Amino acid sequence: MIGVIADSTEENDVREFFELFKVPWEFYQCDRPYEVVLCTGEVKLDSVDAEVLVVYSGKKVPLDTKLKGHVRPQRVGLTSLIRNQPPIYGNNVTFRHTGMRVLAEEEAEESIAYIDRLGSRVFVRVGYDLFREIHILLTSGQPASSASVPTLELHIALLRDLIVACGIPVVEIPPVPDGYQFVACLTHDVDHPSICRHKWDHTAFGFLYRAIVGSPINVLRGRASLGDLVANWGAALKLPLVHLGLLSDFWCEFDRYIEMEGGTPSTFFILPFKGYAGRTSHGPAPRARSSRYEVFDIAEKIKALMSSGCEIGLHGIDGWLDSSRGRVELERIRQVTGSSDIGVRTHWLYCDDESPEHHERAGADYDSTIGYNQTVGYRAGTSQVYKPLGTTHLLELPLHVMDTALFYPRRLGLSPKEAKELVGKIVSNAAEFGGCVTIDWHDRSIAPERLWGDFYRQLIDELRDKGAWLSSASQAVSWFRKRRSAVFERVHREPGALRLKVTVPIEDALPGLRLRIHKPAGAFDFATVSRRFDVVLKGDIDTSIAL
C-alpha cells in the first residue's frame, strides 16, 4: 500500500495518476504504517511510518540536508536525460550524492534521482514535482519536439522500478487486456465521402494538382510507386465520367475499409453540418474547414457501417468551445444512428484546456481529439485512456497516428519506409507499456490521389502480429472504464506472500483484466530487472499469492 502526502491543490492530479498506475494507494493516514509513502515537498520525517519514503520535489527540501546531498540550483525544463527516462517540463534540481544514482543527465555528474539509507529507513529523492508533471501532460500536453516520448508511461515505470529496487513488491492492474499485449483502436475521420460533391472548389483542384503534378514528384522522391502514378493519372482522366454518373465514385470507400479491417469494428467520425466552417477561439474558422456533406446525406452508408459492427461518432465542429452547439451536433448523429452514447473527435483537432468539459456538458461519452496535426506520437504523454482533470464521466482516448501527419509534404512528408519505422516505435512502446494505440485513417486516404491503403493494410497486419486487440473507439474506452472500476479492497504482505482482495466489474464481452506482481530481484538493487508474473482477474478475488 502506498500512502500519498501531497498538496491539496494536487488532489485531482494524484487521483488520475493512480488510475493510470493502477496500484493499491490512499492519501496518507497518520494512524497506520505503510510499506511506501510518496510525498511532494516538505515532510516531517519523524511523523511518517514507512519502510520507504519517496520524496519528489523540484526544489531543495529539509531532507536534502539530512541526507547530506549537494543540491544544484533550481531550473525549469529538462529533456536531455538518459534513454528511457521522462523529459521534465517543470521545476527541477539535480544532486551530487554518494547514494545510488538512478536518473541522470546525459554527460553530467549530477543525478536527477538517487536512493540512500538513513538509519533503518530507505529514502528515494527525485528532483522534480511528479504531480505537476502529470498536470502539464494532461492539460497543456507535450510540445511536438517530444512527441515520440511516452512521458507519462516513463514516470510510471520509474516510480515502479524505484519501489521494487528498495525491496518492496508492487502489485498493479496493468493497462493490458487479458489475452493481448495492448489495444489498437481503428478510427476514420469522414471529411470527403464523395468526390462528386466537389466540382469547382479547392478540394477538386487540390485533387487534380496532386494527382497530375504531385504524383510524378512523389515518384522521383521515392514517396510513391509507378503504380500509384498510373492510378492517379487514371483517376484524373475518369473524373468527368464520375461526375456524369457513368463510373462509380472512387472516393466512396466505406466497403473497402470493412474488407481491409477483416471484421474488426472501427469508428467513423461523421460531420453534422455541411457548408459551415465553425469557429476558432478568435473568430470564424477558415472556409476550407467546411464540408460539402452532412450526416443525413450518407444516412444509408452509416446504417450499412453499423450493420457490419462499426461505430459512428461525431466529427464535431463547434462543440469544443460551446457545449450548447455540441448538444445540437450530437443530436444530429443520434437521429441517424439511434445510439445514445456518442463519442466525439473535433474536426481539424481544434481544442483547448476547457474542451473536455464542453464535450461532457454537451453529453458526449468520450473525446478522441488530443493528438497532433503535424506529427505523430503522444501529445498527452500517454497511450492510456484517461479522464481529463476537469471532467467527471467523459474520458479521453488520445490520438497517436494520423495518416495526413505522416505523409503530407507540409507535415512529416515521409516515405512509406520512413513512416513504417516511425509508427513501429509507437507500436513497440505499446507492446512494452500497454495502453491503446489510436489510428486515424481518413475516409479518402485509400483512394486516389492519396493511395495510402497498402500502408494501412500492412499496419493492421503488424498490430495483429504484435498481439493487439483491435477495437472501435467505444470498445477501447469501455475496457478502460472497466479497469478504472476495479478496486483494491485490501493488500498486505505476509511472510513470503501477498494477501490481497480485489473487486472487479461484472463480466462482459470485453477482454478481461490482469493482476501483475513485480517481485524485487534484491533489496537496494536498481540495476537488475525485477521479475514479474500475471494472474487473470475473472472476478472478485480474496487470496494469498506466493512471492
Q: What are 364-395's pLDDT values in tens digits? A: 999 999 999 999 999 999 999 999 999 999 99
- In this structure, are 389 and 331 located in the same domain? yes
- In this structure, are 286 and 434 located in the same domain? yes
CATH number assigned to the domain comprising residue 300? 3.20.20.370
Say if 188 falls within a structural domain: yes
Distances (CA, A) of 147 to 405, 484, 499: 12, 26, 40
- In this structure, are 270 and 404 located in the same domain? yes
- In this structure, are 145 and 274 located in the same domain? no
- In this structure, are 112 and 256 located in the same domain? no
SS3 293: coil
Find the helix or strand (DSSP H, E) in which 429 lies.
Answer: helix 416-433
Give the range of the structural domain holding residue 434, as residue numbers without chain letter. 182-194+251-480
Say if 454 falls within a structural domain: yes
Residue 529: pLDDT band with limits 50, 70, 90? low
Averaged pLDDT for residues 303-325: 97
Say if 207 falls within a structural domain: no
The Cα–Cα gap between 52 and 67 comes to 14
What sign has the CA pseudo-torsion 534, 483, 11, 140?
positive
Say if 424 falls within a structural domain: yes
Say if 506 falls within a structural domain: no
Q: State which of 440, 462, 480 marks the end of a domain.
A: 480
When the pLDDT of each residue in the chain is averaged and rounded to a whole number, the result is: 92
Share of the chain above pLDDT 90, in %: 76
Number of other CB atoms surrounding residue 283 within 10 Å: 6
According to DSSP, the residues that pair with 182 across neighbouring strands are 468
- In this structure, are 379 and 352 located in the same domain? yes
Q: Count of domains in the chain?
A: 2
Report whether 47 contacts 61 (CB < 8 A): no
Say if 335 falls within a structural domain: yes
- In this structure, are 272 and 350 located in the same domain? yes
According to DSSP, the residues that pair with 36 across neighbouring strands are 2, 52
Q: State which of 480, 515, 540 marks the end of a domain.
A: 480
Please report the pLDDT score of residue 104 as a whole number.
Answer: 67
- In this structure, are 386 and 461 located in the same domain? yes
The Cα–Cα gap between 385 and 366 comes to 10
- In this structure, are 110 and 186 located in the same domain? no
For residue 80 the three cell numbers come to 536531455
Residue 413: pLDDT band with limits 50, 70, 90? very high
What sign has the CA pseudo-torsion 250, 254, 258, 264?
positive
Say if 533 falls within a structural domain: no
CATH number assigned to the domain comprising residue 47? 3.40.50.880
The Cα–Cα gap between 268 and 271 comes to 10
More confident residue, 504 or 44: 504
pLDDT digit string (tens) for 245-297?
999 999 999 999 999 999 899 999 999 999 999 999 999 999 999 999 999 99
Averaged pLDDT for residues 335-339: 96
Q: State which of 480, 503, 527 marks the end of a domain.
A: 480
pLDDT digit string (tens) for 196-248?
999 989 999 999 999 999 999 999 998 999 999 999 999 999 999 999 999 99
Say if 212 falls within a structural domain: no
pLDDT digit string (tens) for 354-367?
999 999 999 999 99
- In this structure, are 286 and 341 located in the same domain? yes
pLDDT digit string (tens) for 85-125?
789 999 988 888 767 777 665 556 678 888 988 877 899 99
- In this structure, are 342 and 386 located in the same domain? yes
- In this structure, are 150 and 256 located in the same domain? no
